[in-house]
Structure 1
Amino acid sequence: MNNIITIFRKELKEILRDKRTLIIMLVLPLVVYPLLFTGVSSFMQGQAEKAGEETLRIGLGAGGDAALFREYLSAWPGKTDVRSISSDTAEAKVQIQADSLDVVFFFPDGFTASVDSLDPVSYTYYYTSTNKEFQVDMIRGISQGFQQSLTARKLAQLSVNERVLEPAQAEAHNIASNREQFGSIIGGIIPYFFIIFCLIGCMYPAMDIAAGEKERGTLETLLVSPASRLDIYLGKFMAVGLSGFISAMAAIAGILISSKMISAEAGAEASGIMEMMEGIIQPGSVLLLLGILLPLNAFFAAITLMLSIYARTYKEAQGMISPMMIVTVFPSVAGMLPGVTLNYVTALVPILNVSLGAKEIISGTAETGPLVVTYISLIAFALLALMASVRFFNQEKNIMRG
């Protein structure tokens, strides 16, 4: 046991000397991500405020009867700039594509009379879906609102109460808590980042203390020491595992810091985020998340160390381990897709079960059965990876592969 601790401390010192590893493990998730997330949030908030002040440029084709539409626009709460243009649709399309107008409406002659007499009538408008999303929403909202105003006008002429169209009012009550609602939306992001950073936190130390030692010629010295092969491996494994764990915890802390900063800016509107954060840091939730993270961490540490031991050089180890990132990203992202939930089948799929299990824990909606299967499968995969890695390390041909 003393040999394992000695090797563990030695390898940990080597890892902590590498500034690049420290930056990736700590600085990136704790500093860069909060700044990035709050920056994006502030930008989106600014864009939303800007959208509320945006003036919609509306063209009306000449020669048509647009009296009712002009009357509707005069009462519309948004800012509009209404211009008359020629009745040529080709000219209208040119002006829209040239960004001179946002939308052009064409109304036929006698439109008002046709509406009042219930004769079939239609109007046309042109816009481009490549406009800003809020502009497209405004255009569609204007058209829908205008249609509703025409309906109200006709009902008034017929002395019919508008409530006849909605004889009953529906009252919907969402019984999901704020934590459940926000957890279902952003709960998949947190496990995605701690999965990725757990892998990154294992990758670089594993490459340095295995393939890197081969290049430096220090691995042979370690192998002829009194420590057994198993002691050497376990010391390295513990160092790599601790590095991955710290990196994953830093990623979670970075996201929580980001959420705190965003919720502070949003004020009362962010009560759901705050409730979700408080739920995450509850002792029960922390223990459940650790139960998922620790076997995942052991799995990554064993696999990355095994591949790095097999590699001849640091660069070769990098080439062998880097594809793991691609393999890991896909199931991590799949866990964020709507409709993909934790059940007895997905609980057996590596990485995906971590993403879904953590998402359920964060949302506070985890079911005991699938969660237990997730823990069992993760522990089984971690043990298999560890056993395979130890056996691999004990074979001389793999260590001295030259």
Structure 2
Amino acid sequence: MSKVLGDQGHRSNNFDALRLVGALVVMFAHSYSLRGHPEQIPVVLGYPLQTLGVIVFFAISGYLITASFERTRNPVTYLLARSLRIFPALVVLVLLTAYVLGPLVTTLTRDAYFADPLTDGYVTHNIRLWVQFPLPGVWATNPLPGAVNGSLWTLFVEFLCYLAAPLLFLFPRLLRPFAALAALIVTIRLAEAPMEASPLFYAVRLRDAAGLWVYFAGGAFLRIAVKQWSWFLLRTDIAVALMAAQSVIAVAWPQWAIETGSIAIPYTVLTIGLARTPYVARTARFGDFSYGLYLYAFPVQQLVIDQWGVRGTAVNFVTVLGITAVFAILSWHLVERPALALKDRILHRRVRPGTPEAVVAESVSA
């Protein structure tokens, strides 16, 4: 999700902290459905809490990924950098899940587990972002049965955003803000389509995918607008006003919540993210663990429920967080950081320290 720095070890803004909060929010919200209480999931600004956590990721990515391609303008190095961020940790997670965790917790015999085509299919499908949720005999009696890692479906949705962002730069510079705005309008319409009229696309419901694309498009539009229009600024007072308005709209006129939220939420997220708050801006000085937390939390939650049963919200969250944090730390230091070091060598960035481009370069999610 973020560029590896040298020994200085920290970025100059709040994006790392926001990503970490997003991952923790998703983990906390998933605990309700995984313990069999989906009706108790808190709703904020009209969104289930886990959706709001993912939205934070997509709004940040829309801004930073657009900035990333704007700097490189090389589709090959750009896509290689994006792939080095998303796939190494994913491949390790999927292999560990299918070939280490699965045999330990399945109700089948070891031979039957490995003979089932679902086992190898879990690896081949999920590595190529075609999400497969079940493994044979794994957690079939949990309150949310058969879902080994329900978070993986969003990775395909995000990777499509990586592919789409460069298309904005096919337009002349003066037209790019309007192209980004048009993309935002199209994704809103797709997100509002009736469920029965929304087809599956690469194992993901198009309506669900578009519900996240909206916020990536909002972040991309804000990046281009801030870059191109000198009068377009991200201001704290405006962000507060937008959130107040969004809170009212979500309750009084929920049918308009996605239209207003597509700008209000990314605007607020980016205003916070681009600021430099003392101590908060140093969140990742020991490593950027947000992606690892996001990847590992769901199967860890299922494992905790399988082994120790359904516990209270606080006990469940603390237990899951402690175990998941270990995997996230190992993932960062053993997999993600080396992959990102390779990405940096490929990109050969030449950004002057202290410029606005340097601020984005330090945080770019990839």
TM-score by length of 1: 0.26
User: Which is higher, the Rg of structure 1 or of structure 2?
Assistant: 1
Please give the TM-score of this superposition, normalised by the length of structure 2. Answer: 0.28
